[in-house]
Amino acid sequence: MTVIKINAITVPEGSGDELARRFAARAGAVDDQDGFEGFELLAPTDGRNVWLVVTRWRDEAAFEAWSTSPAFGHGHRSQQERSGGEAPPPVSTQSELWSYRPAGGSGDAAGAADS
């Protein structure tokens, strides 16, 4: 069954545009991953500073495989690499992984959840 993994990223005020640019630059990077069903980057419009990366996967195993793969590491640099000075510093100050499952609804999103 489809699983939904949400990365909730805290972004300081004024840095959202840069985050969106970085995602746009890497948007296709995960497309070929087995079991990947899509992702959406959601920007807050109610004054919060938490952006959401909502990703959908065929099952837990597919997400686990990606998140422990070199492909994931490539797009997500380690703390050490960041402090190395060469790479631009991360935009985020904090992030949290949330796990969800489809539990009902209507419209396109619910349809996708059934597949």
Q: Which residues bind ligand HEM (CB under 6 A)?
A: 5, 7, 9, 19, 22-23, 26-27, 29-30, 39, 53, 55, 67, 75-77, 90-92, 95, 97
| Cβ nearer to ligand HEM, comparing 76 with 101 | 76
**CB 21, min distance to ligand HEM, A:** 9
**CB 62, min distance to ligand HEM, A:** 12
Cβ atoms of residues 11 and 49 within 8 Å: yes
CA 27 to chain centre: 10
| Cβ nearer to ligand HEM, comparing 26 with 101 | 26
Cβ atoms of residues 45 and 71 within 8 Å: no
C-alpha closest to that of 56 among 100, 105, 107, 9: 100
| Cβ nearer to ligand HEM, comparing 21 with 109 | 21
Residues in the chain: 115
